[in-house]
Chain A
Amino acid sequence: MRTVRGRWLQWGVFAVLCLAAFSVFGVQRFPPPEFTETGHQLPSLISIPPRSLLWQYFDVFVLLVVLSLSTWLALKKRSRNGLVWTGIFSILYFGFYRKGCICAIGAIQNIAQGVFDPTYIVPFTALVFGLVPIAFALFFGRTFCAGACPHGALQDLLLIKPINIPNWLEHGLRMLAYIYLGLAVVFAATGGGYIICQYDPFIPIFRLSGDTFMVITGVIFLLVGMFVGRPYCRFFCPYGVLLGMGGSFSKWRVRITPDTCTKCRLCEQSCPFNAINKSSLAEVDASNLGPDKRRLAWLLVLAPLLIAGGIYLGGHTGKTMARKHARVNLAERIHFEESGKVVGTTDASAAYRGTGKPLDELFAEAGKVRDRYVLAGRWAGGWIALVIAGKLVSLAMRRRRPDYEADQMRCVACARCYEYCPQEHLRRQTLYGIPMPLAMAEKAVAPTPATLGKLEPVEPVGTK
């Protein structure tokens, strides 16, 4: 036994020397034995195939069912209860069972990468999850947010005591989502990673694990979400931006009243997401429009300048953003090592040096990546400036609205406002869930546009 051990130790010492000399990993140093005495059979390498593609198609099927169901519940059945249960199903299936992956929010990154990187193959599920809800939004508004999105449903369920956010803060914070979308597309298109997935606050909750930063942001979002309705959807969700843009051209949409708006103002405070536009029929004093018109004109002149500035700044930030890319980061590190600015190596730089490839190859590659970032940064800067300019212009414009209606861009079709509308109670023939007394139901006639015309338009009091 002793001698055997000694022999192997010698081999070990020899191997160390080999390693020091050539630094070669995993070469055939010891010939595999023949097993002449026992005829021992080698065990086979078991490899279990990946999850069947059928399950992917099943996910797509579930998405289509849940999306159609929540559209029907929000627009046709007008059922808040139904949407809550659909949302709970989505949380359980897409959230806890599928661990929040695949999700529509993240899928835009796959699509962005697929468009800009021809070698990348977009998974079928990502394609469907990314595009189908937008197509739905073009016809029905953001019904995806109502019941099919586990992130939205989770925040919706946890909303206990909504507080009102002042308008200026609402408008300002909503800009963040557009910026987030721009950055996410930049990083996905340039191969710098999927930031939506990296910083998703709800993934650690669905997975019941995650790094410290993710867990902390998750907890913060949930706590804030108890008082501020859907903080992620409103202020951060990049997919919500796309759905909102689709939804603003939708054919059918959430209407607070099932038939006629009597401007009773009961729904005014019903939306926890600030998504109801108040009726405004007040005649504008035409003689006093000068300042407003001037402001709009100035903004329209300013918009191109703003966009040009955005493109310029975007190009500069592109260089900084490029450092998130692994290759650029590595090239920078090795450059510092070479010039003596840092001492020692990191795992990554040691690994690159271990491959024996010339450093110039890496530097050239990193330079190309950085150029891509500068270009992408310009686009993103232009986009962000365009959004800001558009927001300013839209705030400077006045729009006459005959009815109280849900904002097509912001409304997530949660169906809360329906229950505040007296016309809805008439339609359902119930009063807060209790069947309406027959006499009352017979008497109550929904006002028609003709009868409404006789009423004086009500100017909302105490509102802006």
Chain B
Amino acid sequence: MAEGTTRINRREFLANGVRGAALVGLGALGGGLVASRAQAEDTVWQIDPYKCTMCGRCATDCVLELSAVKCVHAADMCGYCNLCTGYFEPQPVGLNTGAENQLCPTGAIERKFIEDPYYEYKIIEPLCIGCAKCVKGCAMFGNGSLYLQIRHERCVNCNECTIARVCPADAIKRVPRSQAYVIKNQQGKG
């Protein structure tokens, strides 16, 4: 029996040793990573509109059924054009709110007359799917006041953003939480 007990003790001793070493290792790993976080802030995913090529993958590749990416409108950059190239199809039948004239596939842009010749455009967010058609139209012929942003009330902050994985322009990056949105304005990068 003596042999049996010593064997068990030896095994226990080894297990204790390995466990202790593993715990120290885990502690060092965790401690090191926590220390590296000390200076930094937690991050969220965001699109850099200055890199975005409006490829349309934001609408299709988000893990959410309806993408967390939506179009936002920097009103102070908007020219309030009557012929808004973000709102109208190329060569529209008429410059009115008829569905056949609209570029947006879901009719998510509201057009409102303000004063001659200015019209205001507003994104109806629940309808927007983040397809970037209007963004492209606005960027190509207009001021670039329409742009895509990840809306954080929708984004589930995945470990690895599935849109970032397919983004051809590498435009989706982790940004500090305190600067969760890129605000475009007249002064340029803001």
Contact of B53 (CB < 8 Å), options: A11, A49, A50, A350: A350
Taken residue by residue from 307 to 334, chain A's Cβ proximity to chain B (1 for < 8 Å, 0 otherwise) reads as: 0000000000000000000100000000
Q: Interface residue count for B (Cβ, 8 Å)?
A: 74
Q: Would you call B122 an interface residue if the criterion is a C-beta within 8 Å of the partner chain's C-beta atoms?
A: yes
In Å, the complex CA distance between A51 and B83 comes to 38
- A98 (CB) vs chain B CBs: closest residue: B156
In Å, the complex CA distance between A28 and B75 comes to 13
* Interface size classification for chain A: 35 or more
A8-B82, A197-B160 as given contacts; A135 in contact with B23, CB under 8 Å? yes
Least distance between B149 CB and chain A CB atoms (Å): 8
Q: Which residues of B contact A44 (CB under 8 A)?
A: 75
A40-B114, A127-B34 as given contacts; A50 in contact with B143, CB under 8 Å? no
The answer to whether A123 touches B42 (Cβ under 8 A) is yes
A33-B79, A106-B159, A121-B43 as given contacts; A111 in contact with B143, CB under 8 Å? no
- B140 (CB) vs chain A CBs: closest residue: A19
In Å, the complex CA distance between A30 and B143 comes to 6
Q: Which residues of A contact B105 (CB under 8 A)?
A: none
Q: Would you call A342 an interface residue if the criterion is a C-beta within 8 Å of the partner chain's C-beta atoms?
A: no
In Å, the complex CA distance between A28 and B151 comes to 25
Q: Would you call A154 an interface residue if the criterion is a C-beta within 8 Å of the partner chain's C-beta atoms?
A: no
What total count of A-B pairs have CB within 8 Å?
198
A38-B115, A102-B159, A131-B29 as given contacts; A29 in contact with B168, CB under 8 Å? no
A99-B156, A351-B53 as given contacts; A131 in contact with B26, CB under 8 Å? yes
Q: Would you call B106 an interface residue if the criterion is a C-beta within 8 Å of the partner chain's C-beta atoms?
A: no
The answer to whether A32 touches B80 (Cβ under 8 A) is yes
Q: Would you call A433 an interface residue if the criterion is a C-beta within 8 Å of the partner chain's C-beta atoms?
A: no
The answer to whether B73 touches A45 (Cβ under 8 A) is yes
The answer to whether B143 touches A29 (Cβ under 8 A) is yes
Of B34, B139, B160, the most chain A CB neighbours within 10 A belong to B160
Q: Would you call A434 an interface residue if the criterion is a C-beta within 8 Å of the partner chain's C-beta atoms?
A: no
Chain B interface, >50% SS class = loop
Q: Would you call A194 an interface residue if the criterion is a C-beta within 8 Å of the partner chain's C-beta atoms?
A: yes
Q: Which residues of A contact B34 (CB under 8 A)?
A: 127
Q: Which of A95-150 contact B (CB under 8 A)?
A: 99, 101-102, 106-107, 109-111, 114-115, 118, 121-124, 126-127, 131, 134-135, 138-139
Q: Which residues of B contact A282 (CB under 8 A)?
A: none
The answer to whether A33 touches B15 (Cβ under 8 A) is no
Q: Would you call B148 an interface residue if the criterion is a C-beta within 8 Å of the partner chain's C-beta atoms?
A: no
The answer to whether A197 touches B158 (Cβ under 8 A) is yes
Q: Would you call A26 an interface residue if the criterion is a C-beta within 8 Å of the partner chain's C-beta atoms?
A: yes
Q: Which of A175-209 contact B (CB under 8 A)?
A: 193-194, 197-198, 203, 207-209
The answer to whether B83 touches A210 (Cβ under 8 A) is no
Least distance between A38 CB and chain B CB atoms (Å): 5
The answer to whether B82 touches A4 (Cβ under 8 A) is yes
Q: Would you call B72 an interface residue if the criterion is a C-beta within 8 Å of the partner chain's C-beta atoms?
A: yes
Least distance between B36 CB and chain A CB atoms (Å): 7
Q: Would you call B85 an interface residue if the criterion is a C-beta within 8 Å of the partner chain's C-beta atoms?
A: yes
Q: Which of B58-96 contact A (CB under 8 A)?
A: 63-65, 72-83, 85, 95
Q: Which residues of B contact A40 (CB under 8 A)?
A: 114-115, 118, 120
Taken residue by residue from 173 to 190, chain B's Cβ proximity to chain A (1 for < 8 Å, 0 otherwise) reads as: 010010011010010000
The answer to whether A25 touches B140 (Cβ under 8 A) is yes
Q: Which residues of B contact A304 (CB under 8 A)?
A: none
Least distance between B67 CB and chain A CB atoms (Å): 11
Can you report 9 residue pairs joining A to B where beta carbons are below 8 Å apart? A11-B141, A25-B144, A29-B79, A31-B79, A33-B80, A45-B75, A51-B157, A134-B22, A246-B22
Give me the interface of A with B, judged by CB distance under 8 Å. 1, 4-5, 8-9, 11-12, 15-16, 19, 25-33, 35, 37-38, 40, 42-45, 47-51, 53, 56, 99, 101-102, 106-107, 109-111, 114-115, 118, 121-124, 126-127, 131, 134-135, 138-139, 193-194, 197-198, 203, 207-210, 246, 249-251, 326, 346-348, 350-352, 354-355
Given contacts A12-B85, A250-B15, 17 further A-B contacts (CB under 8 A): A1-B95, A5-B83, A15-B85, A29-B141, A32-B186, A38-B114, A43-B75, A45-B74, A47-B152, A49-B152, A51-B152, A101-B158, A109-B159, A118-B36, A131-B29, A203-B63, A354-B169
Give 9 closest A-B pairs by Cβ, nearest first. Answer: A26-B144, A30-B79, A347-B168, A8-B83, A348-B168, A50-B152, A351-B169, A26-B139, A194-B160
